Each structure stands twice: as C-alpha cells, then as structure tokens.
Amino acid sequence: AMTDGKSKSLVAYHEVGHAICGTLTPGHDPVQKVTLIPRGQAKGLTWFTPGEDPTLISKSQIFARIVGTLGGRAAEEVIFGRAETTTGASSDLMQVSNMARQMVTAFGMSDVGPWSTSEGQSGDMIMRMMARNSMSEKLQTDIDVAVKKIADEAYEVALQQIRDNREAIDEVVELMIENETISGDEFREILEKYTEIPEENKKFLAPAM
C-alpha cells in the first residue's frame, strides 16, 4: 500500500471529494464504497452503483455525474491549494469533457440546441458529419463554449459542496486512512450527521435488509 502519508491523504481527499459531490448532487447513483486501494491506473476509486436504465438518463443525471467526477479535483484545490492538482484529477477532466460533450451533442442539452436528436445517431457520428460540413467551424466553437460552460458550472457546484462539508470530509478521510475502504452505507451515515442527502438520491438505495 502507500507509505507516504501525504500522498495517502491526498488520494483519500480526492476519493472522498468524488463521493461527497456525487452523493449530494441530485440525480447521482449511490456510492457503493470509497477506497484508497489502487486499481490499475486509478489511484483510488469511488464506486457508484448504476441506478436505472441508461437510455432514460436525464440531463440532471449526467450533470450530477460531471459534478461527482470533478469532486476529486475540487477537494484537492480546496484542501491542498491549486498547485497540488494531481494526474488523477487530469484524467477526471478528460472524462468530464467527454460527458459534457455528450450532453451537448448527443442529447442537445445546451443552448446550442437539440440539433442531434435524429434517431440512432451517436454524438461521434454527428461530429464526423460536422467535420465535413462547412458550417462546422462555428458549430464546433459553439459546442466548445457550451461544453466549457457546463464544466465550469459543475466545478463551481463541486467546490461549494467541498467547502460546505469540510467536517464530514475530514471525518471520512480519517476513517479511510485507517481502514483504506469504507462502504457506501458507512459513508452516508457519517455524511448525514452533517448534511442532508437529496431525496432523489436516496430512492436509489436498496432498503436495508
């Protein structure tokens, strides 16, 4: 496991940041567990249980996922200062940009408008069509602007959630540094001492046996 105390604590804050922001943003799947144990490339990993049928996914669900994905970086920034952002955070940013681009292109969920709603065309295909198209340059710019706007809004939400829940975060991190992994239920129990989890997110949770 990790010996270096600082890097362990950085990973813990990063992972708890994902878990907090996912759990507190309406529309997000429940956290199954939060762990420091590295799996392949990812340093730690916050596991979310997929809630419902992915074809019924709503704008708020994708946005919540973006906020959750940015939670790791937001935690690093709030707790360690901007200079400390890790490579884990930069791979998160790639994911965010993909999800936001999907919101804009495949789902038409932005000011750019629903110009891709034709059945069965994936965002990629639209991208390829646009590349061949003379109007593509302006459209491309509009998409980039819309993607950045979604990501910026989501990051503000994530930063706010980290700042508002610092005590809960510290308590969870302490437990994780001790145990390396905590279950989603343990995590939510701590969080609920400090704040409310949105009703919408609770309905995904299986009733306790």
The token pair that represents 168 in the structure block: 């809960």
Per-residue confidence band for 132, with pLDDT thresholds at 50, 70 and 90: low
pTM of the full structure: 0.79
Please give the residue that has the higher pLDDT: either 117 or 33: 33
Least-confidence region, from 27-31, 117-121, 166-170:
117-121
199 is catalytic: no
Mean of per-residue pLDDT scores for the chain: 80
**Strand residue runs (E) in the chain:** 31-35, 45-48, 181-183
What residues does 34 pair with on adjacent strands? 46, 182
Each residue's pLDDT tens digit, 152-181: 999 999 999 999 999 999 999 999 999 999
In this predicted model, which residue has the larger pLDDT, 179 or 118? 179
The pLDDT-based confidence of 5 (bands split at 50, 70, 90) is low
Higher-confidence residue of 201 and 49: namely: 201
Question: Which pLDDT belongs to residue 119?
Answer: 40
Check residue 120 and give its pLDDT: 45
Give the count of alpha carbons within 13 A of 204, CB side only: 22
Quote the pLDDT of residue 2: 46
**Which residue in the list 15, 76, 84, 180 is annotated as catalytic?**
15
Task: Identify the residue whose tokens are 């790639």.
Answer: 94
